[in-house]
Amino acid sequence: MLPVSPEVKTNPLQKANFCSRLFVWWLNPLFKIGHKRKLEANDMYSVLPEDRSQHLGEELQGYWDQEVKRAQKDAQEPSLMKAIVKCYWKSYLIWGLFIFLEEATRVVQSIFLGKMISYVENYDPNDSAALHEAYSYAAGLSACVLVWAVLHHLYFYHIQRVGKRLRVAVCHMIYRKALRLSSSAMGKTTTGQIVNLLSNDVNRFDQVTVFLHYLWVGPLEYIAVTALLWMEIGISCLAGMAVLIILLLLQSCFGKLFSSLRSETTAFTDDRIRTMSEVITGIRTIKMNAWEKSFIDLITRLRRKEISKIMRSSYFRGMNLASFFAVSKIMIFVTFITNELLDNLITASQVFVVVMLFEALRFSSTLYFPMAIEKVSEAIVSIQRIKNFLLLDEITQCYPLLPSDGKTIVDVQAFTASWEKASETPALQELSFTVRPGELLAVVGHVGAGKSSLLSAVLGELPPSQGTVSVHGRIAYVSQQPWVFPGTVRSNILFGKKYEKERYEEVIEACALEEDLQFLEEGDLTEIGDRGTPLSEGQKARVSLARAVYQDADIYLLDDPLSAVDAIVSSHLFEKCICQVLKEKITILVTHQLQYLKDASQILILKHGVVVERGTYSEFLKSGIDIFSLFEKGNEQSEPSPLPGTPTVISESLVQSLQSPRRSLKDAAPEDQEAENIQVVLPLEDHLEGKVDFKTYKNYFTGGADWSVIIFLILVNIAAQVAYALQDWWLADWAHVQSNLYFGGYLKEDEEVVFVLNWFLGVYSGLTVSTVLFGITRSLLIFYILVNSSRTLHNKMLESILRSPVLFFHRNPIGRILNRFSKDIGHMDDLLPLTFLDFIQAFLLMISMVGVMVAAVPWTAIPVIPLGIVFFFLRRYFLETSRDVKRLECTTRSPVFSHLASSLRGLWTIRAYKAGQKFQELFDAHQDLHSEAWFLLLTTSRWLAVYLNVICAIFVTVVAFGALILVESLDAGHVGLVLSLTITLTRMFQWCVRQSVEIENMMISVERGIEYTELVKEAPWELESHPPHGEEIYFNNVNFRHKSDGPLVLRNVYAAFYPGRKYGIVGRTGAGKSSLIAALFRLSEPEGDICIDDILTTRIGLHDLRKKMSVALQEPVLFTGTMRKNLDPCNEHTEEELWNALEEVQLKDTIEHLPGKMNTELAESRLNLSVGQKQLLCLARAILKKNQILIIDKATSNVDPRTDELIQKKIREKFAQCTVLTIAHRLSNVIDCQQIMVLDSGRERESGWPYHLLQDKNSLFYKMLQPLDKAEAAAL
């Protein structure tokens, strides 16, 4: 497969030695580069072989296939969970042992600490044995911290890699499934849903793997700690433990709520992303109809529902984090109060052992355990959703390529099938035909007759309910709506075949692409597709046709490729391409161009899915069947007189073509030798440089609340922290009093002592309660502000995107835009508020701890200051690289989505060409590129963690030995306080630095969001000036280009369109006809003057301008939703008006036969309507607007001539008073216009009355008539 990054560096981890792996030295060169300059995609190291997407995906797919087989055997539903467990349990379990050891060292630490404090309590300067013992305890304490650091780092690194592997494997499976979905399954899912599965659902795996082990480690540690506490202080420890149990039960209930909220949220997210993806694909239609506002409202409504669910789950999260902040304090409080009530005496060393043991539980039981419950419940929902997707129906038929005797044939017998199992009328009924090499089967019929369904039956996309289809030979397919993927014109045509110059040029010539390629700046190396140069529909159709012809297949299925082009090109394609290049092939051509029927070997006429007539042109003539009458009311064309000898000539030429020697298939090169890689160009987007600036943070916070709320939040934070710190301080003093009581320094009966103890307890209770209250207030407030600001930012992005010109959507592929609306917004909803709160808590805890330590034992300031400085510089050095890695991770994610969206659009084509495997490999290549960035993100944060941990271990060592050296000047309470804080601090310190880095990395999502709120806007939608009534249009020296640096597509156009007249605009494909309309609608700003009623269009608001004109485009755009919503997105018309409009476009019958009539839901793949019917629906939309200017841009190109004629007639009657501009390739549509304008390569070549132009034998218009058959030309 083509590597996506230009030069791949091997991964230094493969050669790294043990020390280098343990301390992550192998990353140092990367940090040096990051320190010097911005990192680029080619600085990343290649993926490790065991992490490659293809390898991982196929492994898990194997287990899943086994699971599906097993389930079918036992008649159960397969479980994706079982497949995942079978695939990953071994490696996952081994790393679980690490976490067990890591938590064990935490518990052992507390025991060492207790021994040290009791040494200080019983200090005797003359006892050297005790001193040596104390030193060994201090050494043990330091060793514990170091061992903990190494284990922690190893565990997190490996466990996150397991999560990443699982995620990559599931993504591979999802894409593989998407390529195999059957047509009925496509109706049940949407692009939005698949994008959401790939962006948000699989992310749960990254998170759940980290915390899952705590579900068993937490309770074990809990039991161990309870046993140790019992040994220290006896029965009163149970009171503190009871608090924890109550809390854990509460959190488990929260977990249940989480999963139900999660599944509700994902449903809304799916809807929002699906609507978003439809808006992006249909942006041209939305802009031309000025519907932006109603779509903004629609998506904002969906977002509001989504946010209300997210807000609720965020409050639960806030409570969870607040409990983490306060729980150890509540437990200590309850334990000591119980101890006091039971009148037990206690020493300072016991007090601090209790404190340390509770602290050891703090992370595993109150942070990680509830996190595990929450993440597991979310992951279960996601696995369920992914499983449902993986169980959708797949396409089954795969016809054999070639039988042994090398004969190619398409044979269909008594075939009946329907698209939806529920529908009563089948799409095709009792269909039979046979086509052999060298034959051309023409399929004709009115709109919705089942012509495209016939091709899908041959492709195997339409499963038969009865009858057989046998297809022998390789298929090439040209879809009705042409599909191009992001890449160059050449790679679109080669589609994975080897480039052979002669053959390639022959194909280009046969498909009439030479002239078009001359106009493109870089010829056939110009990028097209998602973000390249926009091609006209006719050009896209010919690129699709060229792709098919170049494949040199045996069977050609052409779905109306001639409708998208003008008469001259159409006849060129038919003669040169279909009759010459493909003359030895089996060709099935669906067409509305009846003039070509006389060249067909046989003709099928379909009506409502049934074959009405079948035979050759000459048979039809002999038996007196008039082909045209099947479409039209007896026209003068039915007289066979102008065609005296043709039938016989045709049959002779047919006989010759049948006898012509066919290159025997044995000579053909085997498939593999010709295959090359499909080159897809999905460039990475630019990313910002440098650190996330303060303005981004300010915008982020003020987006969610005003300054008063933010100031209140700051005050609450300070209050919570002060209460928290004082509580520690108070405890140390109380421990001091308790020690004296224990060793008989004070007497319990003393009134003063009783008073002091009661006063201590009173203040202690007050501090504990206020810590809890402030902690909860702070949590909820932060979530409220940040989730709100995510909502505000989303709405701003949405508005900004819909206000940007169409050019923006040409430049940015759909995946890139969706990435920001799915993944980045998902970060802001879910992870950022959580990380922010976590960071703020950890940061303030750290500061207050340092404050308390320095106040208790002033000399601790000496090691604290260098520690702070080292941390600060380390973090800064680290962020220079980490920030760029995170940005690369964001940008390398977009191509994955773009590739998916593009593949879903061209699904049938990919399957017909058997290119699924190549596209799967491409997807894996995009995934691997993302994995490169992700792997660096993981290892760089490990690098930081290791160095922080080592520094912390040194710090603990200094403080522990320092305390022993200066033992004479210290009392036990303070030593206990400082040592317990030091150990907690080491964990907090590195957690805090890591979270601050996480925030900075996640703020990149906010930064990318804010970037989308500052896009270049198009002109304002409304202006104060009076909009024109809109009848008369002038073009005065107009030049027009689609993008500011692009070539001119219109040059010096002068034209006038007067009120109430009908104008026809013609020219070969790519001559600039549609660009003329784009200039009129100001999709890009034209140079020169365009006036409507003497008002310059640039002086009118865009909506005022666009609402004055109705437009029906060639590419029909429909949205998921009811038929009614599609006809009238803004709810401006009555039911009656809608039915009238449908009647005018000949759709009333069709829609009355649908199960829900007007309320029928259109599936996203819109299989329930043919392309022609969709065009008619869009035309009805334009007719409904009742404007004075109506523009029809080839809006009936996929409709049969008969229906088209009826519609044209209706339009003439109904819009008699209006200005109508018709762009058409069918000259019959424009021949009765009052004026014709002929465009050629962006210039107006001629204009005038059709009659005058036809009299002039040299006129372009006259030449356009030549390809038509004589009868039709005469009729015109």
Q: What is the pLDDT of residues 989-1016, one digit of tens each?
A: 777 877 887 888 788 888 888 888 888 8
- Classify residue 1068 as exposed, middle or buried by CB count within 10 Å of its CB (0-12, 13-18, 19+): buried
Beta-carbon contacts of residue 879 (< 8 Å; ≥ 6 apart): 691, 997, 1000
Judge whether 163 and 207 are in contact, CB under 8 Å. yes
- Classify residue 311 as exposed, middle or buried by CB count within 10 Å of its CB (0-12, 13-18, 19+): middle
Helix, strand or coil, per DSSP, at residue 478: strand
The confidence score (pLDDT) of residue 631 equals 54
Judge whether 1170 and 1129 are in contact, CB under 8 Å. no
The confidence score (pLDDT) of residue 648 equals 26
**CA of 1271: how far to CAs of 635, 643, 1267, in Å?**
11, 9, 11
Residues 956-981 as b/e (b if ≥16 CB within 10 A, e otherwise) read: bbbbbbbbbeebeebbbbbbbbbbbb
Q: 959-965 long-range contacts, Cβ below 8 Å, gap at least 24?
A: 959/860, 959/863, 960/116, 960/138, 960/141, 960/142, 961/135, 961/138, 962/859, 962/860, 962/863, 963/116, 963/120, 963/138, 963/857, 964/116, 964/119, 964/131, 964/134, 964/135, 964/138
- Rounded to whole angstroms, the Cα distance separating 847 from 986 reads 12
The confidence score (pLDDT) of residue 5 equals 44
Q: Classify residue 368 by its DSSP letter.
A: I
Compute how many other C-beta atoms are within 10 angstroms of the C-beta atom of residue 1086: 23
Beta bridge partners of 26: none
The confidence score (pLDDT) of residue 642 equals 30
Beta bridge partners of 935: none
The confidence score (pLDDT) of residue 171 equals 93
Judge whether 1042 and 810 are in contact, CB under 8 Å. yes
The confidence score (pLDDT) of residue 406 equals 65
**CA of 1043: how far to CAs of 799, 987, 1085, in Å?**
22, 55, 9
Q: 23-26 long-range contacts, Cβ below 8 Å, gap at least 24?
A: 23/946, 23/947, 23/950, 24/939, 24/942, 24/943, 24/946
The confidence score (pLDDT) of residue 57 equals 92
Judge whether 631 and 1201 are in contact, CB under 8 Å. yes
Beta-carbon contacts of residue 1019 (< 8 Å; ≥ 6 apart): 1082, 1085, 1098, 1101, 1102
Residues 695-713 have pLDDT tens digits of: 888 888 888 778 888 888 8
Beta-carbon contacts of residue 1113 (< 8 Å; ≥ 6 apart): 284, 285, 288, 1178, 1193, 1194, 1195
Question: What is this structure's pTM?
Answer: 0.78
CA dihedral 1231, 1232, 1235, 1240 (to 10 degrees): -20
The confidence score (pLDDT) of residue 172 equals 93
**CA of 1161: how far to CAs of 188, 461, 924, 1165, 1166, in Å?**
12, 22, 35, 11, 9
Structural tokens at position 1257: 């034998």
The confidence score (pLDDT) of residue 651 equals 29
Q: Which of 647, 778, 761 is nearest to 710 (CA)?
A: 778
List of the chain residues with pLDDT < 50 = 1-6, 632-674, 1164-1166
